[in-house]
Each structure stands twice: as C-alpha cells, then as structure tokens.
Structure 1
Amino acid sequence: MQELGVVHRTITRASRADVDALAAFGVSTIHEAMGRLGLMRPYIRPVYPSAKLCGTAVTVLLQPGDNWMLHVAAEQLQPGDVLVAACTTECEDGFFGDLLATSVRAQGGVGLVIDGGCRDVDTLREMDFPVFSRAINSKGTIKATVGSVNVPIVCANAMVDPGDVVVADIDGVVVVPASRAGEVAVAAGQREAREEGKRRRFAAGELGLDMYTMRESLQAAGLRYLD
C-alpha cells in the first residue's frame, strides 16, 4: 500500500562524489555493471534527443490528471536532485511543462523522469532542461488531490527510493540504489576499460566468434556450416 498525503523532508542522498562518478558513464554501461538491474521500461524516452541527466532522486507520487505534488516536490529539491514521478494509475496527461521546469531549475533541480506526460517540448529543448517521459501530451492537469513526496515509488517498473541515483540518456533510464552507488561506479569504470580493449580488437579485424571463444559452443549446440 503506497503512502499518501505525506512529504518526507529528510532523505539520505547518495554522496556527491558517487553521483559525479556515475555521471561519467552511459545508462547501458551502468545497467550492465550493476548486474543488469535497475532499468526503467523503454517507453520512458527523452523529450529531445540530446537530453541527459544524473542526480539524486526526489520521488513524487501523483494522482491521475493532477500535478499538485510536483509543485509540492519543488520545495524539497536540493542542488543536483532529479524529480522522479510515478502515478497511482496509468496516465499520460501533460503533468509538466516549461513553467514547472523553470521552478525546478531555480531550486537546483537538474531534470525530471516521469511515468506520465510532458508538454512545451520546444521550450524545454531551448532551456536544455532534460525530461524523460512516458508521453508528450498537451492535455493539461488540475491541482485537487494529494499524493506524496519522498516515498518509495515504482516508476516504469523500476523501484526508486528517495536519494537513489538516477541516470538517463538516449538509451534509457537506470536507477542505482544510494547504498550501491560507489560500488557501481567502480564496476562501470572497469567495464568501460574492458570494452575499450575489445573495441581495439574488433577494429583490428578480430571476430567475436574468436574473442569470446564461441566456435566450440556453437558446434555443440548443433550449428552447421554448409558450402
């Protein structure tokens, strides 16, 4: 049962050093480095192609067609935070636009991830304010029913606790638990180093069949070559 009608003012955020370390890596690398965990569903997309973000989550639980709690959440932002918003039921209304983006930025927020709709995309692109959303939708919302701020939420099938690290780019959105942020940053760096070595080998003409010693396994699996 989700907690409604509450705002938790005190949350434990991942350290700034760990957030900065994770910001150096793409979503795919972080997801793999974390054991192929943490991804949001792929329907959450950037509203403009170059959008990217990395920050600590201030979570929002919205009611359908109602963006009241986004305004409440703006007061809880600290520099480097990302708003992460889910809804009590599926809704693609335009919860967020350029005015709220202006407010969020003024409080130090660095972006929004929302399992719902967003609008004013041209202005958001001009502002370079990154939004990752379920839909782009001009339909407006009201302010009538309370939800909650800084409670655990499930956003696009990903569990998000307040203070977790959220990283988003053109490949998707990944959530790193605050308690694992440092460990995952180290693993991501190691993974990138390994991939750079493989990239050089591929560029030199080596095949994945040989690099990953696939030939015997393929033969055992019944693959046949016919001339």
Structure 2
Amino acid sequence: MKTVVVRNITRADADVVKRLGALGVATVHEAYGRFGLMKPYMRPVWAGGEAAGTAVTVLAQPGDNWMIHVAVEQCRPGDMLVVGCTTDNTDGMFGDLLATSLMARGVTGLIIDAGCRDVKSLREMGFPVWSKAISAKGTVKATLGAVNVPVVCAGINVHPGDAVIADDDGVVVVRKKDAGEVAVKGEKRQADEEGKRRQLASGVLGLDMYQMREPLAKAGLVYVDEPESD
C-alpha cells in the first residue's frame, strides 16, 4: 500500500449531488441500474439522518484512526468522508471530537466500514454517520494509511469525488462520471412513482396497475373459493 495523501481531487458537480440527495438512496439505486449499494450492515448510528456529498476517501488500518485526522484537512464544504479499512474491524474509530472538526469544514456526514462511538452526542450535534458497528472501544494513532485513493467500503469501490447518498435505507455510491445521468433517470423515476402512488391511494390494485393478472395466470396461479362448511 502506498502511504499518500492526494490533494485537489476532482469532485462530482455539487448541484447534481444535491439532486441525487433529494431523491434518496432507494430511488438512486434503482436509477443506477441497482448498482452502487453498500452492504446492508452499514446502518445510520441514529435514525432519520440524511446526507449527500462528494467522497473524500480514507484507507485506514484496523483500530487506528490516524488517517481520519489527516483526511480532515482535505475536506471541503459538501464533502462526505468515506473510510475503508485494510481488514475487518469494528473498533470505535470515530466520535464527537472528529465530528466537530468535520462539521467545521462543512462535511455532510461520515461513512465508515468500522465502528463509531459517542452516538448520543452525534445525534444531538445533528452529524449523520453510517457505520458497521457501534463500539466504545478506543483506537490508536500509529500506522499510516492513505487519503483520496480508491477504497473498498462495505463491498463497493469508492473513488475520490464520487457522489455518496445516505439515509435510513443505507448508502449508495455513484461514480462522478455517471452522476448527471443517474440524477435525470432518478427524477423521471420519482415522477412516475408519484403517479402510481396517486392511483394506489385511490384504491387501484397493484395487480391491475402493473397488469399482473395475465402473467400470473400463465405462471399457473389459480384462485379457488373456500368450500362452505356444513
């Protein structure tokens, strides 16, 4: 592993990232061809948090948050810090002090494939975090990693500057070159879903709206009436 900090990265367009954030994780994931979704163990440490931003990436050693401190300097307003580890880890590598530093830089949230602590304080601060675990176990600052290099976080390759969207449904990553196209597709999908939602609210069945009855019959589904009891 090359121990390096890459500065002045190219980021996805900020307005496009905001559009993706307004769509939410589920819609963006579908619009992206069901691609880019991190493993479902990545959960918000407090419910209701939402965030969208451009990825500043960290490759950290297990139980060592030294490179997270290094990465703070590279963050700009609208960024999202994404931390991957060189091996499996659940130690509490992030807490309220680092969150305070990131908030001062205008960072929108943290994605960390490891542990997080100080959850109550993070909730009160309004700083959203998605992590693999919640753990009070502390960490050290002893071994170098890297900042703004491609990392694997919860099964997804994340490149510096990619768009990252996170909410209660999980975390999805959109490559910066694809962000504009995915935003357009997602907005069209959202508009289509609004029409379907109105139909369902009026009492129309999904069976009819999606024209499912004929293919269900072809697949062999049979309806029978319950026989009258004596």
Shorter-normalised TM-score: what interval? Answer: over 0.9
- Where does structure 2 lack aligned partners over 5 or more consecutive residues? 226-230
Q: Distance in 2 between matches of 1:4 and 1:222?
A: 58
Partner of residue 130, structure 1: 128
The correspondence for 1:153, drawn from 151, 154, 158, is: 151
SS of equivalent to 2:200: helix
Cross-structure match for 1:4: 2
Could you say which residue in structure 2 is the equivalent of 1:195? 193
Residue number in structure 2 paired with 1:144: 142
Q: Deviations over 1:138-158 (max 9, x none)?
A: 000000111110011110011
* Mapping of residues 60-99 of structure 1, within 5 Å: 60-99=58-97
Higher Cα radius of gyration: 2
* Partner in structure 1 of residue 181 of structure 2: 183
> Over aligned residue pairs, what C-alpha RMSD do you find?
0.8
Aligned to 2:29: 31
Match of 2:54 among 44, 52, 56: 56
**Mapped contact 1:4–1:146 kept (Cα < 8 A):** no
Aligned to 1:116: 114
- Write the letter of the residue equivalent to 2:40: P
Give the TM-score, by structure 1 length.
Answer: 0.97
Matched positions, count: 225
Q: Per the alignment, in what secondary structure is the counterpart of residue 64 of structure 2?
A: coil
Matched residues in 1 for 2:109 and 2:124: separation? Answer: 14
Counterparts of 1:188 and 1:97, CA distance in 2: 33
Partner of 1:45: 43
**What is the rounded CA distance, in whole Å, between the counterparts of 1:178 and 1:4 in structure 2?**
24
**How far apart, in 2, do the equivalents of 1:17 and 1:46 lie?**
24
Quote the offset at 1:91 in angstroms: 0.2
- Alpha-carbon offset, residue 4 of structure 1: 3.1
Residues 31-87 of structure 1, C-alpha deviations (whole Å, 9 max, x = no match):
001111110011100011021110000000010110000001001001111100010
Q: Distance in 1 between matches of 2:211 and 2:18?
A: 36
Runs of at least 4 residues of structure 1 off by over 4 A?
A: none
